[in-house]
Each structure stands twice: as structure tokens, then as C-alpha cells.
């Protein structure tokens, strides 16, 4: 294939982009179509699960660039779309949690890889209204005879998460892996580009707006990760402009932290709780409840804070 320009913007020498900036600048949908990347479609079979492995950590940061620009290795850009069990309907607001080894097969947090960033080569993204996500990383190295791979946990707003792994077709060590988990990588100007779509065994709720514009119901979503050790993400949606409060409180009813107290318009909202109370003190490990009150509706869910 002859390409006059890379399908992604050049990332050399620039700071990290927000997910939105990344998606907009990458032009995901048109890129994958225009440049002929084959989307990994597995009919209507859900994407196969794979083992979690020993190197998963809680609280990966929300980001689309998983390492510094001087990280040793071949730069790699992965995009994809998360869809429901009909293989068509995008899953908006899914958390795509990824982690991988560096070029030498070393995992941050668990091994001494010489990283300044304790979460090097780890991150979470939220899918947009088209179910799309994207991240920038490097091609993972080999370790203990394993193929090159990136670990994934994909969590829809409700329902079960999928734990799986991404492999690469050109890697001979990946031959025994499921075809739906092996993607081609396109090399352009020394950088690698790939598309990894994920089909969840998940029926997208009927109350989802088919135009993916505004919510049709007030809803508080399950936090992620849960349990958590440092921070957890809480999402909710509003159908109408409302007076909104979001509080975290103990089982005895005592409010620990007020996260939101504001008038907010219809839309989707994401916030983080860092496990601290209103005075900035670390809350004790244990079970907490978080509550959304908006437009005469109250919704409560449970969050578990682990010891630090």
C-alpha cells in the first residue's frame, strides 16, 4: 500500500493528548476505512477471553499515551471499537484498561524496569459515543516465551467485564492464539498501527439513545475499578437539567465526601474519588456507598476501598 502521509498525527515531540483530542486528531473511523486496515470482526461471536496474568494492577491512570516519547521500542498506535453482542451497537462509556511489558519484557510496578513513571505502559480509556478508544504505546517485548501481547479488561457501564489479550499476526509466537485476538500491524515511517475491535457479550440497554446524543434516563453507573486502592471512576448521566449531588458515605449514613453539588445540564458525567474525605484525609479501608440525587431521583451503589 502506498501512503502519502501517516494516518495519525505525528506524536513526536508533543505532550500527551486528552482522549478526545487523540480521537479527533486521529480521525479514527475514516482512518481505518481509508487506509484499509482490516477490522477484526468475528461474526457475532463475543471476543474470546484470555487469562488475567500476574501483572495486573489497580488504578491505572486515565490516559491515551501510555509511555513517554523517549520510551525504548517501536512506537505503536492502537484504535478500536467496543460493540455489544449484536456486533453493531457501540458501547459508550466502556472502560478499556490496558497494560503491557516494555521492549525487554519487563512490567512496571511488579518488576524493576528503570521507569520514572510508576504506571509506565499502563492506562485506561473510556469509549466515546461510537464505542471507540485509542492509545499510543510501544510494541511489547517478549518474556518467558510468551508472544508479544497487551492485556485488556473491557468493562461496559453495566454487566460483566471481559478480560482478554491482544496479539499480533506477524509474531510467530502468537500462532496458537485465537484468530480474533491477533491483529495485523501496518508499519508506516517506522511506526506501527493496528485496529483491535472488541465484541462484548453484553446487550446494550434499550434506554440508550440511538443517536448517541443525550441520555434518556437518569442513571448512576458502577464505579471502576471496584474494589480500588487509590482512585476510582464514577459515572452518571442526566436526562434533564437538575440540581445534582453526589456523595460518598459510610454504611452508618455519615457522609465522607461530597463530590458534586451543582446544577448540571443533561449529559454524561465522569468523576473520580481518590478515597479521601472532605478534609483531605485518607478514608479507612472498607465498604462505602455513593449516591446520586438528581431530578427527584436517588440512585445508590457500593464501592469498596482497599487498604493502601
User: E-assigned strands of the chain?
Assistant: 75-83, 95-100, 122-126, 132-138, 150-155, 162-168, 182-183, 186-188, 191-195, 198-199, 219-220, 232-238, 242-250, 255-264, 267-273, 286-294, 297-305
Provide the minimum distance between the beta carbon of 41 and Fe ion in the complex, in angstroms, as a whole number. Answer: 25
Which residue lies nearer to Fe ion by CB, 53 or 265? Answer: 53
Verify binding: residue 53, Fe ion, rule CB under 5 A. yes
Which range of residues in 49-57, 75-83, 117-125, 154-162 is near Fe ion by CB under 5 A?
A: 49-57
**Smaller CB distance to Fe ion: residue 53 or 267?**
53
Between 53 and 118, name the residue whose CB sits nearer to Fe ion: 53
> Closest separation between CB of residue 163 and Fe ion, Å?
12
CB of 98 to Fe ion, least distance (A): 11
Residues in the interface with Fe ion (CB under 5 A) total 1
* Least distance CB 121 / Fe ion (angstroms): 11
Q: Considering only the stretches 8-16, 47-55, 83-91, 179-187, report the one whose residues sit in contact with Fe ion under the rule CB under 5 A.
A: 47-55
Tell me how far, at minimum, the Cβ of 17 lies from Fe ion, in Å.
26
Q: DSSP string of 57-74? A: -S---B-SB-S-TT-SS-
Instruction: Give the per-residue SS3 of 200-249.
Output: CCCCCCCCCCCCCCCCCCCEECCCECCCECCCEEEEEEECCCEEEEEEEE
Q: Which is nearer to Fe ion, 53 or 227 (CB)?
A: 53
- What Rg, from alpha-carbon coordinates, does the chain have? 20
- Residues in contact with Fe ion by CB under 5 A are 53
Amino acid at each position: 500500500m502506498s501512503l502519502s502521509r501517516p494516518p495519525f498525527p505525528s506524536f513526536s515531540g508533543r505532550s500527551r493528548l486528552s482522549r478526545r483530542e487523540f480521537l479527533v486528531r486521529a480521525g479514527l473511523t475514516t482512518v481505518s476505512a481509508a487506509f484499509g486496515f482490516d477490522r477484526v470482526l468475528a461474526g457475532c461471536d463475543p471476543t474470546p477471553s484470555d487469562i488475567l496474568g500476574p501483572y495486573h494492577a489497580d488504578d491505572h491512570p486515565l490516559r491515551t499515551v501510555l509511555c513517554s516519547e523517549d520510551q525504548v521500542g517501536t512506537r505503536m498506535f492502537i484504535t478500536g471499537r467496543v460493540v455489544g453482542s449484536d456486533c453493531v451497537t457501540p458501547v459508550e462509556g466502556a472502560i478499556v484498561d490496558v497494560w503491557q511489558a516494555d521492549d525487554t519484557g519487563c512490567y512496571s510496578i511488579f518488576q524493576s524496569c528503570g521507569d520514572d513513571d510508576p504506571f509506565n505502559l499502563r492506562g485506561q480509556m473510556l469509549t466515546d459515543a461510537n464505542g471507540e478508544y485509542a492509545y499510543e504505546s510501544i510494541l511489547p517485548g517478549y518474556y518467558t516465551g510468551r508472544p508479544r501481547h497487551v492485556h485488556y479488561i473491557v468493562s461496559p457501564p453495566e454487566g460483566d467485564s471481559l478480560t482478554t489479550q491482544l496479539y499480533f499476526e506477524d509474531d510467530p509466537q502468537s500462532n496458537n492464539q485465537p484468530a480474533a485476538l491477533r491483529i495485523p500491524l501496518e508499519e508506516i515511517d517506522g511506526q506501527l498501527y493496528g485496529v483491535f475491535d472488541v465484541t462484548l457479550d453484553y446487550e446494550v440497554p434499550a434506554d440508550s439513545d440511538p443517536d448517541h446524543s443525550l441520555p434518556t434516563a437518569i442513571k448512576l453507573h458502577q464505579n471502576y475499578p471496584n474494589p480500588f486502592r487509590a482512585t476510582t471512576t464514577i459515572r452518571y448521566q442526566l436526562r434533564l437539567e437538575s440540581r445534582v449531588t453526589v456523595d460518598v458515605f459510610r454504611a452508618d449514613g455519615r457522609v465522607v465526601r461530597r463530590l458534586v453539588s451543582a446544577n448540571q445540564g443533561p449529559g454524561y458525567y465522569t468523576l473520580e474519588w481518590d478515597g479521601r474525605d472532605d478534609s483531605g484525609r485518607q478514608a479507612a479501608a472498607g465498604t462505602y456507598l455513593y449516591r446520586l440525587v438528581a431530578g427527584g431521583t436517588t440512585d445508590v451503589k457500593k464501592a469498596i476501598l482497599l487498604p493502601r
